[in-house]
Amino acid sequence: MQRAKRLGLIPPYLFGEIAKMKAAAIAEGRDLIDLGIGDPDQPTPANIIDKLTEFSHDPSTHRYDESNMGPTEFLADVAKWFQGRFGVTLDPTCEILELIGSKEGLAHAAWAFIDPGDVALVPDPAYTVVKVNTLLAGGTPYEFPLLAENNFLPDLFAIPGDVVKKAKILYLNYPNNPTGAVATREFFQQAVNFARETGVLILHDCAYSEAGFDDYKAPSIMEIEGAKDVAIEFHSLSKTFNMTGWRIGFAVGSPEALRALNTIKGNVDSKAFAAIALTAGWALNHARNDDAMALLKRRRDVLVDGLNRLGWNLKKPEATFYVWLPVPPGYTSATFAKALLEKADVLSIPGLGYGPHGDGYVRMSLTVSGDKNGEMLEEAVRRIEKNVELKW
């Protein structure tokens, strides 16, 4: 057997590697506190599960979904939600595309827009899927830095002109994984201006739009005048309603770009289970996940306050599940994550896994299985204080 050469271009999947480390630690009988993957630990709200049962009993959902962009009711539900949530009117016949989760959409977008030799502008650090699929499609990722001093917002106009000339797409992601940063409407306006001036298509990952704390409401790039001409935005129900396993999301925006993405999808997948899509559409307009969000906020407060007592100077993230923690002096992201795991049985993700500018950070996720009210985060802080050398 000979594997395709393109597989040699990509590193092992970050979360697959983390899952292996976790399994090994558990097999050794260690009592791990898992602050690794951002996977909501609370169940999907019961009324969503009931709705799935109802739709699953409709045999018409059991067959192939032969619609073009997704079931009509689902697309209408997304349009309704988008109007209410962001004040943006979407045409459900051409400005919404069902996805099997936003990860699938972000990955296939590279295949829809990147030819060998093309450049994709990729944030550094970033969710690994965007860079990897650029490489698989034969493209060249140009990584632009997200820096703490700029609140992890990029200076797009600082990207060299010769790079921009070769660039076809620009990946953005706010609220941001892994940094927890949020974007302002002014930033989105700049990004739209950049896309208009350069002809680069914006692919905005907005999977964490509903994971906001303290009344923070993330904007959509679609709120910016003209965004629909130069951008598509990816949404997911995974993080909003604890539905990571359900695999359902959608993209909105430029009809032409959505058609291109759908050309890839039509030849690769056969859409989500229609009962899941219909349930997702219903959930957007009827379900709430307030208790889970309140628990995440409590955990955020416990973790950030606790780490600040140990010498950090962290701001509480306004959205996402992530605390992006600068490593103490004397460590790299890898050595600090190793020390946390080996000395304190705390699993975090080394920032280097998200790109070169992630070195110097580890990411801690607030989605901790078994935690009822922040007590496991308190315990994580205690273990770090007791077992990990911190020299400020």
With respect to ligand MLT, which residue has the nearer C-beta, 177 or 348? 177
Least Å distance, CB 169 to ligand MLT, is 20
Is the C-alpha dihedral spanning 189, 125, 36, 138 positive or negative?
A: positive
d(CA 152, CA 145): 8
- Kindly state the tokens that stand for 51: 């709705």
Do the beta carbons of residue 322 and residue 363 sit within 8 Å? Answer: yes
Nearer to ligand MLT, 254 or 348 (CB): 348
Specify the residue, 34 or 65, whose C-beta has the smaller distance to ligand MLT.
Answer: 34
Nearest residue (CB) to ligand MLT, 39 versus 359: 39
Contact in structure between 244 and 238 (CB atoms under 8 Å): yes
| 323 neighbors 300 (Cβ within 8 angstroms) | yes
Task: Decide whether 22 or 103 has the Cβ nearer to ligand MLT.
Answer: 103
Binding interface with ligand MLT (CB under 6 A): 37-39, 103, 127, 177
Give the whole-angstrom CA distance, residue 321 versus residue 299. Answer: 10
Inter-CA distances, 278 with 2, 85, 242, 285, Å: 41, 19, 17, 12
Using DSSP's 3-state secondary structure scheme, residue 235 falls into: strand
Q: What's the closest the beta carbon of residue 81 comes to ligand MLT, in angstroms?
A: 20
What token pair was written down for 130?
């965007």
Minimum CB separation of residue 321 from ligand MLT in Å reads 8
Eight-state DSSP code of residue 176: -
Other beta carbons within 10 angstroms of residue 311's beta carbon come to 11
Place of tokens 């995974």: 238
* Residue closer to ligand MLT (CB basis): 51 or 300: 300
Q: Least separation, in Å, of the C-beta of 37 and ligand MLT?
A: 4
**Residue 171, helix vs strand vs coil:** strand
* Residue 128 C-beta: closest distance to ligand MLT, Å: 8
DSSP secondary structure string, 115-152? -TT-EEEEEES--HHHHHHHHHTT-EEEEEE--GGGTT
Query: Quick one: which of 266, 198, 191 has its CA closest to 231?
Result: 191
Closest approach of Cβ 323 to ligand MLT, in Å? Answer: 12
Considering the complex, what minimum distance in angstroms separates the CB of residue 36 from ligand MLT? 7
Taking the complex as a whole, how short is the minimal distance between the CB of residue 98 and ligand MLT, in angstroms? Answer: 18
Q: Are 233 and 204 in contact (CB under 8 A)?
A: yes
What are the residues facing 167 on neighbouring strands? 119
Residue nearest ligand MLT (C-beta atom): 38
Report the nearest approach of ligand MLT to the CB of residue 185 (Å). Answer: 25
Give the residue with the Cβ less far from ligand MLT, 220 or 365. Answer: 365
SS3 359: coil
Which of 346, 362, 353, 369 lies closest to 242, judged by CA? 369
Comparing CB distances to ligand MLT, the nearer of 238 and 254 is 238
> Would strands 249-253 and 96-99 be described as parallel, antiparallel, or unpaired?
antiparallel
Which residue lies nearer to ligand MLT by CB, 70 or 101? 101
Which CB, 70 or 105, lies closer to ligand MLT? 105
Shortest distance (Å) from residue 352 CB to ligand MLT: 14
